[in-house]
Amino acid sequence: MSPEKIQQMIHDALPGSQVKMSGADCNFSIEVTSDAFVGLPPLKRHRLVNDIFKTQLENGELHALSIKTHAPE
């Protein structure tokens, strides 16, 4: 799965979000800042991003995804 595809999926699910990422092949670390996270606890933020890639994680297209989330300051 390409970094561009991951970024596009996040932007589609969380419009206006900012995404920083590193990694290659099927192992990525992402940092997402989104207005959608305002008022949500960290676990719900993480689940919101993780759910975007549920299918890709289940079918092995994406092997590992480290997620950090932030609400805008």
CA–centroid distance for 63 within its chain: 13
CATH of the domain at 39: 3.30.300.90
User: CB-based burial of residue 62 (10 Å sphere; 0-12 exposed, 13-18 middle, 19+ buried)?
Assistant: buried
Number of compact structural domains in the chain: 1
- Structural domain containing residue 55: 3-70
| Per-residue pLDDT reduced to its tens digit, 6-56 | 999 999 999 999 999 998 877 889 999 999 999 999 999 999 999 999 999
Residue 3 CA to chain centroid, in angstroms?
A: 11
Neighbours of 47 (CB within 10 A): 13
The pTM for the full model equals: 0.89
- For the chain, the straight-line distance linking the first and the last C-alpha, in angstroms and rounded, comes to 31
